Amino acid sequence: MTALPQTPFAALPGAIVPEESADPGVPAHYGNPLREQRALDAGKALVDLSTRTVLELRGEDRLTWLNSITSGLITALAVGDSGETLVLSPQGRIEHAAGLIDDGVSLWLLPESSSAEALVAWLLKMRFRARVEILDRTEDFAIVGLLERDGGIALDALPAAAPNDVPLIWRDPWTHVVDGGWQYSRPDTHPGVDYTWREVLVPRTALAEVAAAHPAAGALAAEALRIAAWRPREITEVDDHAIPHETDWLRSAVHLNKGCYRGQETIAKVHNLGHPPRRFVQLHLDGSEGFLPEPGAEIRAFKAGEPRIVGKVTSVANHYEFGPIALGVIRRAVDPTIGLDVARPAGENEEPGWLAAAQEIIVPSDAGSVADIPRLPRIGGRRA
C-alpha cells in the first residue's frame, strides 16, 4: 500500500519506535508507558495511529453493496454514524475487520494496514456491476486515537477532516451490543462499556500541528487499555481458524438477522445450534518474576495430572492498575475454574518456563445453541 513519511510523533522527546509491532512505524512509548496509560485512560493524551490505512468508498451503491458481502448492517448507517464489519470466508472464518464511517457521500473504511492490500483486492473482485469506487486515501488523512472522557481532550479541539462537511470521527461500537448483535459474556458490567475509544481522521498536513499541541501516549498504552476492555483486534486475535463467536465479536460487528452474506450460514449455525470450538479469556498473569509472555505463547492446563496445551496468548500488556494481563483463546472444554500456565521466554541467565495465570471468562463454555428447538420424540418411542 501507500509508503508514508516518518510520523512527526516519532520526533517527540523520548519517542521509542520499535522495528516490529502491531502498529509499525509509530511510537510504542515516550519513556513512561504506565504514566502514558493513565493519561490516555483519563482522555488527556492522544495515540499516533498515522500508519493505519484509510479507504474511501464512493458511489451510490456503497452501502448496499458492502452490506451484501460483509457481516454488519451497513445500510442502517445514518450520516456521521460509525460501525464495524467483518469480511468472512465461506466457512465463516474472519479474514478482515474494518471500522466504518459514512458521511452521506462516501463510506470510509479503517482496516488493519497489515491486511489492507488483500482487502482492497478482494473488494475489487467482488464489485461486479456495483456503482462503487474504492480509493486509498492514506496519503491524505492520518488517524489519531483517544478515549473520550469528561475533562479530557475535546473532539472538536482536533482538526478532524471533513471532505464532505461531516467530521470523520470513528466511535468504536464496543461500548454496547449493536442492533442485531449478541453478547456471550455475562459480567454484570462489561468492561467495554467504558471503552469510549475514538479515532479521528485529520489531514496528514495537520499531523505535526496535532503532535505539538497535545500530550502523547504510545501504542503500548492503547493496547493495554484495549486488552482490559476485552476488545478483539484483527492483527492480534485473528488466525486462520478464528470465527466471530470465539472472541464475542458478535457484540459489535455482526448482525444476526440481516440476511445472506458470505459466511452467514456458519454464523447462524454456530450461534443457534452449536458452540464455538474455542473461547476468549482474559488472563491475569503472575508478575513476580518480571516476565511478560509474547503473543502466540502457548497456554497449558493440567488434566489428570498431565499438562496439555489448550490455547495461545493473543495480546499481552502491563496494565497500570491490573498489572500483567493478556487475552487468549483456549479450547471450549477447558474447565473455567482452574488456573492455567502461560509459556514465558528465556531471560538473562534464565531458562524458558511457565507463568501462572488466572482465567477470567469472557466467552463461556456454553456459548451458542441459543435456538429454542423442541425435542421431537424418537420414532417408536413411548409418549408420556
Please give the annotated binding residues for substrate, written as ranges.
Answer: 199
Spatial separation of the C-alpha atoms in residues 245 and 278, rounded to whole Å: 9
H-type helices in 29-177, by residue range?
Answer: 33-41, 62-69, 113-126
Strands (E), the chain: 46-48, 55-58, 82-88, 94-102, 106-111, 133-136, 141-147, 169-171, 197-203, 216-217, 278-285, 298-303, 306-319, 323-331, 340-344, 353-361
* Strands 94-102 and 82-88, bridge-based pairing: antiparallel
3-class DSSP assignment, residue 103: coil
Hey, what amino acid is at 287?
G
Spatial separation of the C-alpha atoms in residues 47 and 147, rounded to whole Å: 10
C-alpha cell read off for 322: 491490573
The candidate with the shortest Cα–Cα distance to 33, out of 287, 211, 229, 218, is 218
H-type helices in the chain, by residue range?
Answer: 33-41, 62-69, 113-126, 207-213, 219-228, 234-237, 250-253, 264-272
Q: Are 208 and 32 in contact (CB under 8 A)?
A: no
- The continuous run of DSSP H or E covering 338 comes out as none
Three-point CA angle 314, 316, 317, nearest 5°:
160
Spatial separation of the C-alpha atoms in residues 123 and 135, rounded to whole Å: 11
341 C-beta neighbours (distance < 10 Å), count:
20
Detail the residues annotated as belonging to a binding site: 199
Hey, what amino acid is at 50?
S
Measured CA to CA in angstroms, residue 22 lies from 32, 340, 344 at distances of 19, 26, 20
DSSP class per residue in 265-281: HHHHHHHHT---SEEEE
